Structure 1
Amino acid sequence: MRQFTQVLSIRTTRRGLVEFTREVRAWVDAQHVTTGLLTIFCKHTSASLLIQENAAREVRTDLEAFFEQIAPEDPDRYEHDDEGPDDMPAHLRTALTQVQLSIPVLDGEPALGTWQGIYLFEHRQRPHQREIVLHLLGE
């Protein structure tokens, strides 16, 4: 059994979904692991991870609109606003999603479905540099 780690840096430009499936696939391929488990971890409390459809852009648009409805920016609604009006809504959106994904590796690649992509879900309005940790355990 071998294990590998890597930290990816992803630059976001605004709130929304940023796909990074290609980077993950390339990294897994470079490790030459045939069978294993890939863990992806987001080191932030105002961004999260999703596996979601990567074919229709409307899916991402609708997801972003849904989260805007359930965790809107409203300065009178939240006590916590240390970093601005999008601060607490970003934490709520992260709490409703996840900061860690586990993906089996089969035949040397992540076992994603045909239309599945790996996304960083940025919950803040302004640009950020996000760190994503990859950990691969396998043989």
Structure 2
Amino acid sequence: MVVFTGYLDFDTKGDTDIIDVTSPVTGIVASSGIKDGIVLVFAPGSTAAITTIEYEPGLVFDLREALERLVPGDMYYKHHERWHDGNGHSHIRASLIGQSRSFPVVNGDIMLGTWQQIIFIDLDNRPRSRRVLVQVCGETV
């Protein structure tokens, strides 16, 4: 088995910035030479998340609105007493969504649905520089 690791580095706007990372993840899978296996997409940090959606403006808006309804940013969170940074909601949202997703790789392609894209969500309340780890494991033949 071969393991190949790549990284995506980018700046975000914060405040539930939703970024389509499908194309660069696909590029890393192609660079790996792995034909059959699995790709892990992992966002280090407790205020970031990885998931999938149909990446189109209406759904991006709807996802932001749904997260605000589920975990409002303007509520009191006990976490604020610790660091006074006002991002308690960011941590809760990230823990509900999760920091990683794995996808099958078959014949060198990530198995995604027709309208399914891999997204990174910066849930912190301020802009950040982020790094996403992409690790591909499998066979090259």
TM-score, normalisation: structure 1: 0.91
Identify the residue that residue 9 of structure 2 maps to in structure 1: 9
After TM superposition, list the pairs within 5 Å mapping 1:71-110 onto structure 2.
Answer: 71-74=71-74, 77-81=76-80, 82-85=83-86, 87-110=87-110
* Aligned-partner Cα distance in 2 for 1:114–1:4: 26
Unpaired runs of at least 5, structure 1: none
The residue type equivalent to 1:122 in the other structure is D
* Aligned-partner Cα distance in 1 for 2:107–2:79: 46
Q: 1:83/1:105 Cα in 2 relative to 1: closer, same or farther (>3 Å)?
A: farther
Deviation of residue 83 (structure 1)?
4.8
Secondary structure in structure 2 of the residue aligned to 1:90: helix
Answer with 21-30 or 65-74: which moved more: 65-74
The residue type equivalent to 1:2 in the other structure is V
Identify the residue that residue 61 of structure 2 maps to in structure 1: 61
Identity of aligned residues (%): 27
Identify the residue that residue 117 of structure 1 maps to in structure 2: 117
TM-score, normalisation: structure 2: 0.90
* Aligned-partner Cα distance in 2 for 1:36–1:95: 27
The residue type equivalent to 1:106 in the other structure is V
The residue type equivalent to 2:92 in the other structure is L
* Aligned-partner Cα distance in 2 for 1:37–1:43: 19
Aligned-pair Cα RMSD in Å:
1.3
Structure 1 runs of 4+ aligned residues shifted over 4 Å read none
